[in-house]
Amino acid sequence: MFEEVKQLISQKDKFIVNLMQNLSAQTESSRQPLGFMEQIGPQLKNEIVLPSGRKATLGNIVAAVSYVELQQTMERKKEEWKKRNEAMKRFSDRRATQQAEGQKEQAIVHPEVNVTSPLSFFPDDVQAGKELDDLWAVKYQAFNTMPADELLEIIRKGFRRTSANKNDIVSTLGGRYIWHKSPSETAAVDILYCASFDSDVMYNAFYHGLTVAKAKSPVVLKRLADLAMQGYEVGRIAWGVWQVQDQREEFIDLLKPYLDSTDLTARQQAQNVVKVIEAKTRGVYDTSKGETKPENIKKVREDFGDKLGQLRETLLTGKSSSRLAELERISSRGIFHLFDDTFIPSIQACAEDENPKVRIMTAEIAGYYWIWGGTMENPEISRLLIKLSEDEVWEVRFAAVEKGLFNVPDKTTEIIKRIIDLTLADRKQMPEILCTRIEYVLRVNKEKAGPILREYIEGGSGNQETATALYRDALRLDPTALEKKIPATRRN
């Protein structure tokens, strides 16, 4: 049986592919703890007829597939390590040669960005591409041993021809040299600005570079304004020119030609963007779907304007399955643009639904779609999100924070405390990207977060260690001064 399964896998036979896809689908549909085993466990004893006619239990087939895939993974990793070691040797040899020739002493002059041809910033250099391949194979060593200007120049020269994952390069540069650095590294911003014109890496260059740069140059602001006028991720752009560093006035100045335009569509789009930037709208502007475009919102109103009463009632009194279907439709079709405060009781009812999937979608719609870019005029939504952040199911808690509380423009002390409490309780199972976002939110709200964390540290609670780490990593403050105030008996 094992040999047959192994052969079927090597041939990518549909029998094995379909069998594992069905199992994956059932796994996705089981979100509760142990839901998968409760659903699949009894089936593992079922006999399955293999293409050869031989019979085997589903459990044995799954075990054989897992073992073969593990072997393949180990072989692939072995090959990756071999290539990495070879790349490390080439990298080390090249560095030694450069240092011996005195190249390290030469000042690196980065070229100016040509805004009329941004992609020309990356030369068509095959050898430079190979050098970047080697560098990226040992990137962590390179980051720790090379000057930033030298490393970024290798990336610039080799970016066009590298075989390394360009999205990984872009997101890593953003995280290391732009997002958490003030001011941001100019050479890294230039790389990601130019990369944003490459459709294959545009989103990561935009997300990890342009929107988080501090401070944003006129060139970067102009690129963001052009994207906003195309209806691209206006919500994220608004956050970038407001929350990261307030450059709203400079940004809106770039929209004035459109605001004064005789083109009605351009003028309306510019007016919509300004509303988001100035936080005068309660709508979400996740414009990867084009929601800010007037014609799109008009189409939603034409399709669903007369169905709002029925939709509101389904959310208020319907069964879990009906609520979930409607919430998914609200999200995918942009019906949230038609929401007003009359929907709050319906959203509150969904937050109490027994199905955690409904509660997750409720958190996303109440938070990300409802309040993003707004001023949180109705405190009932923030109270609802705080309540969902205390849910018994961790996926609901995380959704309430990530899709909801994160998006409140002026976060109260209560909201900051709830984010801290969730982090202290759930840190071990949090995705790393969520932890990074939490650290950023606490850093931006340092005046509110600081006293709360100090109280936990000095109070000697069971979460003192995590609170100390947050105080150090998120607020970038020295916790040792606080530790001196803690009685020795409590520290011990």
Looking at residue 475, its pLDDT comes to 87
List all residues 6 or more positions away from 330 whose beta carbon is below 8 Å from its beta carbon.
311, 336, 365, 369
Q: Are residues 125 and 57 in the same domain?
A: no
Looking at residue 335, its pLDDT comes to 86
Show which of 197, 230, 245 is a domain's final residue. Answer: 197
Residue 202, in any domain of the structure: no
Q: Are residues 320 and 468 in the same domain?
A: yes
Looking at residue 173, its pLDDT comes to 95
Q: Are residues 414 and 344 in the same domain?
A: yes
Q: List the structure tokens of 35.
A: 């839901």
C-alpha distance from residue 377 to each of 248, 282, 355 (Å) = 21, 9, 29
C-alpha distance from residue 39 to each of 56, 381, 417, 477 (Å) = 20, 35, 38, 48
Number of compact structural domains in the chain: 3
Looking at residue 368, its pLDDT comes to 62
Residue 392, in any domain of the structure: yes
> How many C-beta atoms lie closer than 10 Å to residue 489's C-beta?
7
Blockwise average pLDDT, block size 10, the chain, 492 residues: 79 76 59 53 78 84 85 83 75 71 62 90 94 89 85 94 94 90 89 94 94 94 93 85 85 94 88 78 42 66 90 95 93 82 92 95 81 56 91 92 80 91 88 82 89 86 81 82 50 44
Q: Are residues 373 and 460 in the same domain?
A: yes
Residue 152, in any domain of the structure: yes
Q: Are residues 437 and 319 in the same domain?
A: yes
Q: Are residues 29 and 135 in the same domain?
A: no
Specify whether the CB–CB gap between 123 and 229 falls below 8 A.
Answer: no
Residue 125, in any domain of the structure: yes
Looking at residue 268, its pLDDT comes to 84
Kindly report the pTM of this predicted structure.
0.53
Q: Are residues 377 and 473 in the same domain?
A: yes
Domain membership of residue 18 as a residue range: 2-68
Helix axes 248-259, 218-229, angle to 10 degrees: 50
Q: How many alpha carbons lie under 13 Å from residue 22 in its C-beta half-sphere? A: 11
Specify whether the CB–CB gap between 7 and 69 falls below 8 A.
Answer: no
C-alpha distance from residue 373 to each of 80, 132, 402, 460 (Å) = 45, 40, 15, 38
Residue 394, in any domain of the structure: yes
Q: Are residues 322 and 457 in the same domain?
A: yes
DSSP conformation letters of 4-30 = HHHHHHHTT-HHHHHHHHHHHHHHHT-
Residue 244, in any domain of the structure: no
Q: Are residues 352 and 467 in the same domain?
A: yes
At 476 the three-state DSSP class reads coil
